A and B are shown apart, each in its own frame.
Chain A
């Protein structure tokens, strides 16, 4: 192997400048009696053991910079570089940069954090990566940096919470991010006066300017690939230590209906899935309300056959239709909540007892109509078609508003409610960005559709 000469254009200083604003960049001076060296590495993706054992310890044991340089250069995994771009790639790929005797040697010290990274639980997909963010900030940074190897990915870190002192990291792609939004976020975080901060969702509450928040204005996700995907779209991610969820902002309404496997599927399949999701939202939001409206105010809209069917199934039901709907919906919520808390082994039992037996018995006893059971099941299932939990929960609560409107004035109420929500959504802003920018073909929408996920 020929002796490695330091290329003219690559210097420690140059690398340091490029990695400006990298809070996890470590810059150490190695000083021994016989000479000095400089060690530069990104902490979050390098293994401290390798650095300690193979670089620092050896440097002091040898006590001879020239021999040390020779040792490093012949070590398997070490590399010399030709230009600044390659140097940057190596740095971001988990290499440590050692400057000794005027030579610049890159030493492989990648930390592959595999243990401790568990599978996704709340956002499962059929194909694609299944690793989830963990409670460890360093591991999370590793997961993200490994997927986003660009010098433009900047990280700022700060401590939030007077007592909890939670480590937070703000990640963004410097070339793509909207700096206005970034500035606003920095400002809001700096003025934050709280004691405890434990979850990403909690942080949203504190940095949001609105008093009444009906729809989530930030994405809370446990998928590193979603974080990376959104970073590439110019969004900002906030990672918190001690929580396995990242927060992404600013978002638009449409982002909540993008699943990560939309891009893996063929474009037309992805679009179909997206359509299914939107239909699911419509179903879960409107079906109970429409049932109330149709059975109690406007039976002329449905066909006479269905009208008679519903009338027949309701013949034994002693209370008005909206009480029937509310009762069954709340029963369903009990079931959903309970199966969430139940130990995994008992879960199926609860669903069987609750879903099948209860539903069957309720209709047999004549307390609720047959149609009602079908409706409640559809509502329950379609609610979980939304890939992101925050939105799914919002929609889950909102459907009661529609039911109330339908109980008060029938179909007119449902329509007025819908118009009202559309207007509300249009008036919303997520960190100064329009929230309901759904069908506008601007640069964001175009870049989204190019990736094949459906815009």
Chain B
């Protein structure tokens, strides 16, 4: 009898579960968070929830947006728990969109919360939403099958490889924000109606708020300077014809030279291998012409990059981490930060753009 009870007990024990046990169908996944300034309270937090479907074959994306105002973000999330029937699960939250209105103020509060909270991953994408975070969350492109998938794909670079998008993970944002000698950046997502968004601008921040917004052209150059093998095209004008060349491969690096006399110089070296993609006059492309295109393209690139760098310098921003680079190459740990501050206003830029357009495309 005792043995029987023991066995029965073991069997029953096996049917119990641990304390963190919650089935996946009793959770609702938050895929994106939008944070805007509230009308009455400090924050208006919106959550985009993915509603799973039973029939995989039916293309019918369902999503749900819940909004709550509160003075603290955590409080707003707790309040929202009673608005849905399932447990809110943030583990698959892939993006936080901060409203522009909030981003011109201070984003440190939000960032601190996102990094501190244990179930929000450090690899979520931060962005600024225009006109507001909620508007971006509401966007539902027709090509999307899983809620917020398009946002995730576009922002992380898993899907589109647009040269205008810079993806910023929360750990990176946190690092850049508190690192001496480097300033954070954030991509700007503009909602255009209910079905489309556009990400082609970058906001440059100082310690905690937006200082400068780069236009798409500048954003592309910024990406060219910050990451290798950017897939894009650049113009080149030879005589009367307008050419566009595709960048098959691109690299860029820089050196900071501080001579004892004279102004400190940052030398940028950009190397691009290109293919002609567009030819406005249908001129026959010969090898000498290719060389001319390369030269013209290099010159044009050089000028626009220099203009961008000067523009950034005028705002006293450092999104490339020049100050950090300066610090790593100098031994005077106590004074190097101050030295750099003193050097910064005198910075000169020298850009060499080595563009080599190799092919004429497929037409000979």
Question: Which of B17, B31, B121, B146 is within 8 Å of A407, CB to CB?
Answer: B17
- Among B15-56, those with CB < 8 Å from A are 15-18, 20-25, 27, 29, 31, 50, 52-56
Residues of chain A contacted by B94 (CB below 8 angstroms): 304
**Contact A300/B24 with A308-B29, A312-B52 known, Cβ cut-off 8 Å:** no
Known: A300-B121, A304-B31, A304-B146. A315 touches B25 (CB 8 A): yes
B149: interface (CB < 8 Å): yes
Are A304 and B24 interface neighbours, CB within 8 A? no
Contact yes or no, A322 B17, CB < 8 A: yes
Are the CB atoms of B52 and A317 closer together than 8 Å? no
Q: Report the contact-size class of chain A (Cβ under 8 Å from the partner).
A: 20 to 34
Q: Interface on chain A toward B: helix, strand, loop, or mixed SS?
A: helix
A300-323 toward B: CB 8 Å interface, digit per residue (1/0)? 100011011111111111001111
A408 at the A/B interface (Cβ < 8 Å)? yes
The prevalent SS among residues of B at the interface is: loop
- Is residue A230 contacting chain B, with contact meaning CB distance below 8 A? no
Residue of A nearest to B17 (CB): A407
- Complex-state Cα separation, A118 to B14, whole angstroms: 45
CB B288 to nearest CB in A, in angstroms, measures 52
Stretch at the interface among A8-16, A48-56, A291-299, A381-389: A291-299
B300 nearest CB across to chain A (Å): 42
CB-based contact A312/B56 at 8 Å: yes
A315 & B54 in contact (Cβ 8 Å cutoff): yes
A296 near B91 with CB under 8 A, answer no
CA distance in complex: A370, B94 (Å): 26
Given contacts A304-B152, A407-B17, contact A317 B29 (CB under 8 A): no
Residue B89 interfacial (CB < 8 Å):
yes
Residues of chain B with a CB closer than 8 A to A297's CB: 18, 20-22
Give the distance to chain B from A415, nearest Cβ to Cβ, in Å. 14
**Cβ contacts under 8 Å, A296 to chain B:** 17, 21-24
Of B15, B17, B50, the contact of A308 (CB 8 Å cutoff): B50
Whose C-beta in chain B lies nearest to the C-beta of A320?
B23
Q: Which residue of A lies closest to B92 (CB)?
A: A304
8 A-B interface contacts by CB (under 8 A): A294-B24, A296-B24, A297-B22, A300-B119, A304-B94, A308-B29, A310-B24, A315-B54
| A-B interface, 9 closest residue pairs, ranked by CB to CB distance from nearest | A300-B91, A312-B52, A311-B52, A295-B24, A304-B92, A314-B25, A308-B52, A311-B24, A315-B54
List A residues at the B interface (Cβ < 8 Å): 294-297, 299-300, 304-305, 307-317, 320-323, 370, 404, 407-410, 413
- Beyond A297-B22, A308-B29, A321-B23, 5 extra complex contacts between A and B, CB < 8 Å: A294-B24, A299-B24, A305-B149, A312-B54, A413-B18
